[in-house]
Amino acid sequence: MNDVTNYKVPKWPFFLADALLMFFAYYYVLHAALPIHHWEIAAGCVTLGALLGVLPYYLDYRATGKALEADALGAVAGKFQDVKMLVAQIGSASSQWAIIQEAVQTESGKTAAIAKDIAEKMTEEVRRFSEFMQKMNDNEKSTLRLEVEKLRRSEGEWLQMLVRILDHVFALHTGAVRTGDQRFIEPITNFQNACRDTVRRLGLTPFVAEPDELFDAERHQLAGKPEKVPNGAVVSETIGAGYTFQGKLLRPAIVRLHEAKVPAAKPAQEENAADELPL
């Protein structure tokens, strides 16, 4: 655009030719014989001079247009160069992006493989730990079950011993009552009450059937050989105390009935009856 003035056509030759034609027309008009019959010659000179005066400007216009077109084409070519550079840059960026994506996919695959390996190891460790804890629980349960069985056996044994002792104390108290001597009855009764209070703290509670109490098959047991108890049977006496342990019946009371025909036993045999009482 700055070099448009370099394309201007020189105008002085056209102006010179125009001046010569105008001078020739003027001279022809002045020196021609009157009347002028060839006026077309003068008019043609003037017209040709006018055309010569306009022609350089027309040529300048055309040269300027050509220059502007050339400049526009050059600018467009420069833009095309810029577009080509931009396309090249986009292609380079796409290649780099593809490389980055490939690298990321590769690293992602490695990371996923590592994470999967870690997850598998953790699962294996959890499984082993669960198996170890299961074994520990089984061992502890077995140990606790064994200890519970031992405690139950021990509990049964000391209950048997306590019942045996209380049976002997009850037999001793029964023998003292049958003597009718208060010197024996009172201390032995106090001793029996003290023993019963002691075992009640452990949950063992003795009980006896009251005289003339109706026979209850759940709380009473007939002494001697088992036989059918008639309805309305009444307890005559208790020859062995019953026991409950922590609210559960451990052994019913051993009783005799009024209706039962039981031969009278000797006092020595009654005192030793406690050894034969069942638990």
Residue 60 CB contacts under 8 Å (≥ 6 apart), including other chains? 7, 8, 9
Integer Cα distance of 242 and 64 in angstroms: 140
Q: Which residue has the higher pLDDT, 79 or 166?
A: 166
- Using alpha carbons only, give the angle 156, 162, 167 rounded to the nearest 5 degrees: 125
Assess contact for 195 and 163: CB atoms under 8 A. Answer: no
Strand partners, 256: 237
Helix, strand, or coil (residue 27): helix
CA distances from 241 to 1, 99, 169, 211, 238 (A): 136, 98, 10, 13, 7
Q: Where in the chain are the domains?
A: 4-98, 154-276
| pLDDT score of 266 more than 50 | no
- pLDDT at site 58: 73
**What is the tens place of the pLDDT at every residue in 15-42?**
677 677 676 666 666 665 555 455 555 5
Q: What is the mean pLDDT of residues 178-190?
A: 87
Structural tokens at position 63? 């040269």
**The domain over range 154-276 is classified in CATH as 2.30.22.10:** yes
**Range of lowest pLDDT (135-144, 200-209, 270-279):** 270-279
What angle separates helix 39-179 from helix 12-31, to the nearest 10 degrees? Answer: 150
DSSP letter at 235? E
- pLDDT at site 263: 45
Average pLDDT over the chain, rounded to an integer: 77
CA distances from 220 to 217, 229, 235 (A): 5, 11, 9
**What is the tens place of the pLDDT at every residue in 57-113?**
777 777 777 777 777 777 777 777 777 788 888 888 888 888 888 888 888 888 888
Assess contact for 251 and 219: CB atoms under 8 A. Answer: no
| pLDDT score of 268 more than 70 | no
Q: Which residue has the higher pLDDT, 216 or 206?
A: 206
> Under the phi-then-psi rule, with left for phi > 0, alpha for psi from -120 to 50, and beta for the rest, what region is 232?
left
- Containing H/E element for 86? helix 39-179
CA distances from 38 to 20, 22, 26, 122, 210 (A): 19, 16, 13, 122, 183
Q: What are φ and ψ of residue 168, in 5° steps?
A: -65, -40
Q: What is the mean pLDDT of residues 203-221?
A: 85
CB atoms within 10 A of CB 9: 15
- pLDDT at site 100: 86
- pLDDT at site 211: 82
Confidence of residue 215 (pLDDT cuts 50, 70, 90): confident
Integer Cα distance of 224 and 277 in angstroms: 10
